[in-house]
Structure 1
Amino acid sequence: MSKANPFPVLMHAFFYEWLVEQRNASIHTVRSYRDTWRLFLRFVAQRTGRKVAMITMTDLTASEVSAFLSYAEHERGGTIGTRNCRLAAIRSFFHFVATRDPASIAQCVEILNIPVKRAPVSEPCYLDPAEVTAILAQPDRSTLEGMRDHVLLSFLYNSGARIQEALDLCPEAIRFESPSCVRLTGKGRKERICPLWPETALLLKKLLERQPRAPDQRLFVNRYGEPLSASGVRFKLAAYVKAATEATPTLRTKHVTPHAFRHATAVHLISAGVDVTVIRSWLGHVSLDTTNHYARANLETKRKALEQVAVPTTPGGQPSWKRDTSVLAWLDTL
């Protein structure tokens, strides 16, 4: 490797020495950073007219990073959240470079100073119980594929798991005996235990009977025995939602993704009066502020709270001192 171009060496050291060995990052973090750098390097190569293998550190300027972020958001149609994730991956690399290559510190500082873009905080999209029931009724449970989809969606609603947490599920993480529960591994490799309804545990058990899996093998797989992908689940769910819309028209106005089942779990727990600290542990939230977001989202909870407030006086009515005849009679005696 030429000393004139230390970039490939730094990139290799960033992924293998720092990200994997020192930080012990999860496979999902590594893949997310990898995808960002694939996009970024191709973007820079196209703008500079060079091959990716010829890119050097001097090509990776702050202006190139800013242009890439704009491209990722506007031309690729990504969200502001996705843009900020791309920036985090790039920042992480240049933070590492600053400790390895002092000559590049000025360049690194410029990139590290690129601000995170603030995004409007919208109400989370969640499903009403009737909408969940309508979607769960769509898979054809007489087929193995339909049974798998029904079990997966039922599990998402019961556990409030993130889609990747559900797809990583292995039989050894499930307790079928009463009280049934499941062990999930979330962000930052944090484990949590979620209770399972007897109905959900039975569905999981029947799926394993129909499609046996080893204790350490993924439970939800495709027809070839390979683990399902999140994109594949989103594609199947879109078809089920489209079919369910005919019986439940309210679904037309909602953008339903696998994560919508997680939102539904949180909102329905709030409606049932479950304490937010319990829900935080249930969903694996680090901050209670994240869980409180669901407390603001439930319209039914707001309606019940409004019912506890006294109805305001009708405008235009007589003031209370005019309605109190005893006071008026007393004033007449003066």
Structure 2
Amino acid sequence: MSAPADLLHPALATAVRDYLAHLRVERGLSTNTVAAYRRDLERYATFLSAAGRTGLDQVDERDVAAYLTTVREGSDGGRPLSASSAARSLAAVRGWHRFALAEGWTGHDPAAEVSAPTQTRRLPHALSIDDVARLLAAASAGDTPAGLRDRALLELLYSTGGRISEVVGLDVDDVGSDAVVRLFGKGGKERVVPVGSYARDAVDAYLVRGRPALASAGAGRGRSTPALFLNSRGDRLSRQSAWAVLQGAADRAGLTEHVSPHTLRHSFATHLLAGGADVRVVQELLGHASVTTTQIYTMVTPEALREVYAATHPRAL
């Protein structure tokens, strides 16, 4: 929900712009992340304006709590938010108030003690190993430059557990000859991740027989770009195009469930832990700042409970 300019008090609108500039310039957050902050804060600032607040120094804890209730219900005319989305919005609000306090705009932080809504913790959706194999086998629609690229792209996504933005952002030099790849995550943080033999073979085939043809087809533009994955114009492959590649492979593989790039990331983590990997190792491979984020993959599924029960309880069968 992007607020019309006339619904925002000018002082609050200026405070939002200053905080977004801080996030973009000083904290180096990505364009997409800053855009998400903008949507949340403009909705919050519109709510405050409607409540008669003209500055952050006038906001108290009851305002923040009322906003949280409002976005959960959608009573401000915006889309009702789930518990997880409301928690994300509250995180943006908290950051804004902390910044205002640090800058001396206000002498208190009204959001500090407001609790986020309780979230139902769901297991990340992961494909079975067999379904991943079917998906990757269907990745290439033929031995064409685009087909070789698509197979290399999906093999690399599953082999590294990388985010889609990290993998399409790879340059040729980021893929090492020593079976590792350099991924650049949130905030530009670099991590080095091993690459399996299937992905290495797919990338090698693409580099030899696929990428040169795509670079030449783009009026030579691809010859001057360091990007690993190119589109038909010789430019870097976009995230949207990579999504389309995955959807096409899922359709050809006959996978009826929703499959996203994050599904492959979840599958990567789930399969590693099922194979005995330590959660701390998986944390490093995924680039999670906290092991708490990774531990959701260690939750036991109902199916796993039933299997263990059936195999071990003397009266189960």
Q: Indicate the TM-score class for this superposition, using the shorter chain for normalisation.
A: 0.7 to 0.9
C-alpha distance 302-278 of structure 1, shift in aligned 2 (>3 A): farther
Instruction: Compute the TM-score of the two structures, normalised by the length of structure 2.
Output: 0.73
Aligned to 1:116: 116
Matching residue within 204, 223, 227 for 2:232:
223
Aligned amino acid, residue 164 of structure 1: S
Q: Which piece of structure 1 moves more, 216-225 or 201-210?
A: 216-225
Instruction: Compute the TM-score of the two structures, normalised by the length of structure 1.
Output: 0.69
Matching residue within 299, 312, 322 for 2:314:
312
C-alpha distance 303-9 of structure 1, shift in aligned 2 (>3 A): closer
- Greater CA radius of gyration, 1 or 2? 1
Aligned to 1:155: 156
Name structure 2 gaps, 5 residues minimum.
1-8, 216-221
Aligned amino acid, residue 158 of structure 1: S
Matching residue within 7, 12, 16 for 2:12:
7
How big is each residue's C-alpha offset from its partner over 1:231-279, in whole Å with a ceiling of 9 and x where there is no partner? 444454334323322xxxxx43x43221111111122222333333322
Aligned to 2:70: 67
1:173, 1:73 → 2: CA distance? 47
Is residue 197 of structure 1 aligned with residue 215 of structure 2?
no
Aligned to 1:269: 272
In the alignment of these two chains, the number of paired residues is 291
- The alignment yields a C-alpha RMSD, in angstroms, of 3.9
Aligned amino acid, residue 156 of structure 2: F
Matching residue within 244, 247, 255 for 1:238:
247
Is residue 33 of structure 1 aligned with residue 43 of structure 2?
no
Aligned to 1:180: 179
How big is each residue's C-alpha offset from its partner over 1:23-58, in whole Å with a ceiling of 9 and x where there is no partner? 3434443233234345656x659x95xxxxxx9548
CA contact 2:174–2:183 (8 Å) conserved in 1? yes
Structure 1 position 188, deviation (Å): 4.3
C-alpha distance 227-34 of structure 1, shift in aligned 2 (>3 A): farther
1:185, 1:77 → 2: CA distance? 34
CA contact 1:160–1:262 (8 Å) conserved in 2? yes
CA contact 1:124–1:297 (8 Å) conserved in 2? no
Aligned to 1:82: 85
CA contact 2:214–2:230 (8 Å) conserved in 1? no
CA contact 1:170–1:215 (8 Å) conserved in 2? no
Structure 1 segment 47-62 matched on structure 2, within 5 A? 57=55, 62=64
Secondary structure of the 2:271 match is: helix
